Chain A
Amino acid sequence: MKKKSLALILCCSLFFSFLGACGANIGSGMGDHATEPATEEEKLTVVGFSQVGAESDWRSANTESMKSVFTAYNGYELIFDDAQQKQTNQIMAIRNFIQQEVDYIVLAPVTETGWDTVLQEAHDAGIPVIIVDRMVDVSDSRLFECWVGSNFELEARKMCEWLRWFCVKHNILAEDVYIADIQGTIGASAQIGRTEGLQKAAREYGWNIVATVEGEFTRAKGYEATQQLLLKYPKMNVVYCENDNEAFGAIEAIRDAGKQVGSDIKNGEIMVLSFDGVKPEALQDVLDDSISCIAECNPLHGPRVEAIIRKLQNGETPQKYEYVDEDVFSAYEEIENVIVDSKEYPITLVTPELIERRRAEYDTGSYVEELPDNVY
């Protein structure tokens, strides 16, 4: 009996010392701020950032970008919350931000719907909310200050324009194009926009979409889906992946099935198209002709969000919807630009130098070059 209660007490003390160790860490973390002068401490702008999770390279780069901008050195304190793909976690995080009296809330929503109540709460508490990446679908657009992100449908349309011109230049008939669409997480803005863009283009140009399957933006799912598609649709010659991770999986699956990846679809190669272009590896794949074309989705939102916060602090009103500039990457010189909605978009030729520069950007989480003027 005595032994058992001793064991029990030992267990408890072990656990609490563990907790205590955590607490000590937290304490020392706070201590870092305390070493700065008290006046400095007061000036720090507290930003609460609720991130979706860490499901893709794009997401990780997005997080990294925010973290690299909102540092104590730049006058910010960032409270980062990883929601692990759950909306309830995000609602909770925003409510906690309100209780912690942050100055600004940055939200990368996991889905578009279901935000009215909690954004109303933030609005009532007088805390401005900046939405990044995916859009929110709220009844009153005053509930958030502004939105920063990508035009996903435009990305898709640029990509489809590229594919059309590629077919034209290589004498491939529209009815010989068999596309499989590996979708992202169903309901995410990126998935909706990219799927829609493809569907419209396919109707317009007469391409065949042989299958539309879910890939959840992950490499594993992309591999699995492609593997099944290859068995089911031997005619398929274009795999339209809605992000890079899916594309990596697709390339692997095609190679494992003993087929060739590449742009020469006339001679039995299977073309992989992809979005994001975050990791330098993805661009390397473009250079190697494993991925034929990538429509970029820019994850480096940190500097833009910071610019907006500075504007808000100066009492200015930022633009409500801010689309980030995005490139299209390909290794084919023959297509120099594409036209969508009578606007011209240049195609960036992938070169080893470009990949080097990208690698530097990816490592630091922010732009090596100055941001273009129109962003500010």
Chain B
Amino acid sequence: MQKLKEKFKNISDTNLLLLITIVVFFLMYIGAVVFQGKGFLKPQTFFNILNANAALILLACGLSLVMITGSIDISVGGVTALVSMCCAVYLDYQGGNVFVSMLIALGIGLAFGLVQGILIAYLDIQPFIVTLAGMFFARGMTTIVHTNPFNVENPNFVALKETRVNVPGMGSVNKLGVYVPAYVELGVLVALLIVLALFFILRYTKLGRNFYAVGGNNQSALMLGINVKRTKFFAHLLCGVLAGIGGYVYFLHVGSGAPSHAQGAEMNAIASSIIGGTMLTGGVGNIIGTFFGVLSLSTIQNIVSSAGLDQAWWTGITIAAMLCLFLVIQSVVMARKKKQVKK
């Protein structure tokens, strides 16, 4: 018991917040299974959450990176819409191939990351303002590229979109006697791979440690000889690229281009990040937590909608309650840290 207490005392802020996130997610899911039964017992319900949120996971990962360095990026939703519209137009009107469309997506993400990164890191402009402009620009450009929503009919793309990875043994037979297989979309695999990659980058590479150092305390990072500007720039660059990839995954999920795509996605990404234990003040956060943050957010939405609480604002209210809770937990953790420093 004493040992456990000792361990709890020594656990880092990041890990403590991560632990809370994961525990909350599992409790919520178990709660859903107990109270809702039916749908939630089936593995495919969980996979559906993954399928629907693969893009959001990527966007939230990007946001976690910039938030760890103490910055913010609200252009990711706009970039997602722009990427899906550009790729859709390219694939349908230019008869292009799928590989090039992926490059387009990456290119757009890279361009946004590059420009915003330079403006924020080297010209020292407020990240909120820069990315707000980025968001407006991306949304505007999306409508300029094409106004009306439309389906992509490029056969190669459709084939890619329909590609599914079946999870054996997880399907179920419904009451009509039809076997409904369990599956995940390709985007989910991409998202999982990137989550793992980012986890290792943050934990084991110099760049990753620098992110935490810069976000934790700008001045001391500078004194440690860390190139603060370059680190900030890299965070925004990575976030842009992730928005590009996320945009493509989103595009792969819906298979159409529309100006209204990914409306409000940036806010969901920020919320997921915070639920996942990333602090807006910087220096604290974990990609695995972000991953669970997205899952928690989506599980709440699922619970609310399948509970027959038909007014959509219930989702908003529960998410708000959850955010509040996590912000309180974060400030408690901060207070704990301060006390430790005093000692």
Contact = CB atoms under 8 A, between A and B. Distances in A.
B203 interface: no
Nearest to A186: B147
Given A15-B321, A99-B39, A82 B339 contact: no
Interface stretch (B59-67, B220-228, B254-262, B287-295): B254-262
Contact of B38 (A4, A8, A63, A101): A101
A91 B254 contact: yes
B311 A11 contact: no
B254 A98 contact: no
A1 B312 contact: no
B253 interface: yes
A82 B316 CA distance: 12
A53 B312 contact: yes
A99 B263 contact: no
B255 A86 contact: no
A125 B178 contact: yes
A271 B149 CA distance: 31
Contacts of B312: 53-54, 82-84
A185 B322 CA distance: 32
B154 interface: no
B51 interface: yes
B209 interface: no
Given A11-B325, A53-B312, A187-B258, A113 B149 contact: yes
Contact of B35 (A27, A92, A125, A186): A27
Given A11-B332, A23-B35, A85-B260, A96 B48 contact: yes
B45 A99 contact: yes
B305 interface: yes
Interface in B290-332: 301-303, 305-308, 310-312, 315, 318, 321-322, 325, 328-329, 332
A92 B52 contact: yes
Contacts, number: 152
A207 to B, nearest CB: 23
A268 interface: no
A125 B258 contact: no
B151 interface: yes
Contacts of B148: 186-187, 192
Interface in B162-193: 162, 174-176, 178, 180
A99 B260 contact: no
B150 A113 contact: yes
Nearest to A27: B35
A15 B48 contact: no
Nearest to A15: B325
A8 B332 contact: yes
Contacts of B253: 88, 91
B39 A4 contact: no
B52 A29 contact: no
Nearest to B16: A8
B229 interface: no
Given A82-B311, A95-B48, A187-B149, A88 B260 contact: no
Looking at chain B's contact residues, is the secondary structure mostly helix, strand, loop, or mixed? helix
B321 A8 contact: no
A79 B308 contact: yes
A116 to B, nearest CB: 7
Contacts of B322: 15
Contacts of A11: 325, 328-329, 332
A111 interface: yes
Contacts of B308: 26, 29, 79-80
Interface residues of A, number: 59
Given A91-B52, A99-B42, A113 B305 contact: no
A111 B151 CA distance: 10
A139 B161 CA distance: 15
Interface residues of B, number: 64
B98 to A, nearest CB: 16
A106 B290 CA distance: 34
A23 to B, nearest CB: 4
A281 B176 CA distance: 47
B178 A1 contact: no
A137 B174 contact: no
A324 B151 CA distance: 27
A53 B256 CA distance: 20
B332 A4 contact: yes
Given A88-B254, A126-B178, A111 B305 contact: no
Nearest to A80: B310
A124 B180 contact: yes
A4 B9 CA distance: 12
A125 to B, nearest CB: 5
B142 to A, nearest CB: 11
A18 interface: yes
Contact of A26 (B35, B176, B261): B35
A46 to B, nearest CB: 10
A327 interface: no
From B264, B312, B335, residue with most partner A Cβ within 10 Å: B312
Contacts of A29: 307-308
Nearest to A23: B35
Report the 5 A-B pairs with minimum CB-CB distance, sorted nearest first. Answer: A82-B312, A114-B256, A113-B151, A80-B310, A100-B39
27 contacts: A11-B325, A12-B20, A15-B24, A19-B28, A22-B318, A29-B307, A79-B306, A80-B308, A81-B305, A81-B306, A84-B315, A85-B263, A91-B52, A91-B254, A92-B49, A95-B44, A96-B302, A99-B39, A99-B180, A113-B149, A113-B258, A114-B151, A114-B256, A116-B151, A117-B161, A117-B162, A187-B258
Interface of B: 9, 20, 24, 27-28, 31, 34-36, 38-39, 42, 44-45, 48-49, 51-52, 147-151, 153, 158, 161-162, 174-176, 178, 180, 250, 253-256, 258-261, 263-264, 301-303, 305-308, 310-312, 315, 318, 321-322, 325, 328-329, 332, 335-336, 339
Interface of A: 1, 4, 7-8, 11-12, 14-16, 18-20, 22-23, 25-27, 29, 53-54, 63, 67, 79-89, 91-93, 95-96, 98-101, 110-114, 116-117, 124-127, 137, 139, 185-187, 192
Given A26-B308, A96-B306, A125-B176, 14 more contacts: A4-B336, A8-B332, A22-B303, A23-B34, A53-B312, A81-B306, A86-B264, A96-B48, A100-B38, A111-B256, A117-B161, A125-B180, A126-B176, A187-B260
